[in-house]
Amino acid sequence: MKEFEMVMPKKWFRLEKEFTTYFNRKLKDKWFFVHKLSDGWLGSKPYDCIIRTNIATYHTEIKVIDKENFYIKQLRSNQRKALRLVTELWWVGLIVIYSKHFNKHKVFTFEKIKDIWPWDYIKLLF
């Protein structure tokens, strides 16, 4: 997924909304379509945004972690359900994980990590 590669600024992002804004702006600079879903209905919001590139449409959840471990339980149950439904419809669900410690991000398809138990984690090696 080379379309999601980007250079991070020297200063790391403290909040998820700061990283999401930066990430989406960089995608728009590449002329990709990005629609951020409103945070108004936070409890029922299925994921953060829909991204359309020259390759595919992605239903995307963005998470910010402190170091290198991403626990699947960091996704709310309605987010896991929405991303699972997206993949069952043969669409692409993505999870973008940004590490404050490393000031880097990684992109995973939900298909790859959907069967991880909520208390298990992915160790991100940057």
Which tens digits make up the pLDDT trace of 59-115? 999 999 999 999 888 999 899 999 999 999 999 999 999 999 999 999 999 998 888
Q: Which domains does the chain have, with CATH numbers?
A: 2-123 (3.40.1350.10)
The structure's pTM equals 0.90
Long-range contacts of 4-11 (CB under 8 A, 24+ apart): 4/96, 4/105, 4/107, 8/103, 8/104, 8/105, 10/103, 11/103
